[in-house]
Amino acid sequence: MLFNSIDFALFLPIVFVLYWFVFQKNLRIQNLLIVVASYVFYGWWDWRFLSLVLFSTLVDFTSGLLLRKEQNPARRKALLTVSIIVNLGFLGFFKYYNFFLDNFIAAFTFMGYPLSARSLNIILPVGISFYTFQTLSYTLDVYRRKLQPTTDFVAFAAFVSFFPQLVAGPIERATNLLPQFYNRRTFDYSQAVDGLRQILWGLFKKMVVADNCATLANQIFDSPEHFNGSTLVLGAIFFAFQIYGDFSGYSDIAIGTSRLFGFSLMRNFAFPYFSRDMAEFWRRWHISLSTWFRDYLYIPLGGSRGGTWMKIRNTFIIFVVSGFWHGANWTFVAWGALNALYFLPLLLNNQNRNHLETVAQGRVWPTLKELLQVLFTFGLTLVAWVFFRAENIQHALIYLEGIASPSLFAFPHFRGMQKAMTTLAYLAFFIWMEWLGRENQYATEKLGLNWSRPWRYAFYYFLIAAIVWYGGDEQQFIYFQF
């Protein structure tokens, strides 16, 4: 079920009314309602894959109970290993089986030993990368004794399947979200209104910014050899805002929807395109995944505590694995490796924590130095996004070769130029709103709160009108494929 669909517009009020007005006095029934609603939400796409969510829930719930009773270190490690193998095994089969098979055949064919094997027609279950990592974090934290295992299966099932963030995150930690299912929730009007504001801004990001940018980015990326360098740069910019508006828009809707039910989810984006270097960018982009890899992979590998070689090794591992998490294609591996190359000079020169505060904090305008840093960092991300968006490595190299040609200095020209100019106007408004709200949790969190009611509501109705009238062709959320 898509957030930007009529189905969800009907689904959400029904669940809200049942949750607060019918079952508000019984915590366990409220949690059970969340489980049922979440399974309906996920099953709306394909009910057959509900068994995977249920199986993952059972595996990690049982692992937690067994780890609770087991004190022997070797047996505890064995239980953890079983949980990891089962979870990553399902993820690997659905997401990477054909990738490894095709590359295995290609490698042997290259060496003169052609093989014949049939690929499987596998449908990738929506959100499997997200809920797999979420349940794994529970087992890992229980194993590390950072979290007491739960004996409440309904609460745990609600934690795993919580519908606002089930399909595309944020990837929640059990230490944050699971305890919220143990405590009685009371309706908070101000929290709910704040949630609605964030949902509205998320829908604007998705439907006005991302969906309009998607049409133009697709047109340019589909045949880069037909466009001059400046048009290709424009296409990369459109994709950059497509993926940001799409993914951060989903996170805004997820976080805002959670607030309607009395839950607090972790922040997933913190205005990453205003970053002054790549280290700051990765502290602000897809925060739930970045911190997951940091805590469960980078630090266990030794983090930055070792010598230069260990720092280089660990940095490449975390970025390449992060790239591979996104999809079974060498383009994602290249995207991760390129980001590692961006990040390494900052790490090795101890400059990776230079910019911990928000750019131009407490000021309206950035300094010239800050502006140049932001533009340079954004330029680096554009190059990396080309690999992320490309169909294969050759496609990415053709695209970048076109950008590097003398036609880079020609005026952009393609069939969708009129729509491109309109979309650039949307982007200008969007960037200005993001800049004004960059010190808040989301752009419109505090915007207009001090205005008189007519002006405040006029602004909200303006956003609604923009969504209705200027929303682009409906596009599936990008991260559903991951």
Q: Measure the CA–CA gap between 374 and 368, rounded to whole angstroms.
A: 10
CB 476 within 8 A of CB 244: no
Q: Measure the CA–CA gap between 147 and 139, rounded to whole angstroms.
A: 9
3-state helix, strand, coil in the chain (%, to 5): 70, 0, 30
CB 94 within 8 A of CB 124: yes
CB 480 within 8 A of CB 167: yes
93 SS3 class: helix
H helix runs in 223-286, sequence order = 229-260, 278-284
Cβ-count burial 194-224 (b if 16+ within 10 Å, e if not): bbebbbbbbbbbbbbbbbbbbbbbbbbbeeb
CA 156, chain centre distance (Å) = 22
DSSP class of 48:
G
Catalytic residue among 326, 355, 395, 413: 326
List Cα–Cα distances, 338 to 244, 271, 294, 381, 393, in angstroms: 19, 21, 18, 10, 13
Q: Measure the CA–CA gap between 253 and 251, rounded to whole angstroms.
A: 5
Q: What are phi and psi of 122, to 5 degrees?
A: -100, 130
List Cα–Cα distances, 458 to 225, 332, 382, 448, in angstroms: 45, 43, 35, 10
Tell the residue number behind the tokens 């952009």, with chain if given.
412
User: Can you read off the two tokens belonging to residue 181?
Assistant: 């299912």
**Cβ-Cβ contacts under 8 Å for 343 (sequence gap 6 or more):** 278, 279, 282, 315, 319, 352
407 SS3 class: helix
Catalytic annotation present for 326: yes
At residue 143's C-alpha, the angle toward residues 96 and 160, to 5°, is 55
Contacts within 8 Å (CB) and 24+ apart, 392-396: 392/329, 392/330, 392/331, 393/330, 393/331, 393/334, 395/224, 395/331, 396/331, 396/334
Question: Which residues are part of the catalytic machinery?
Answer: 326
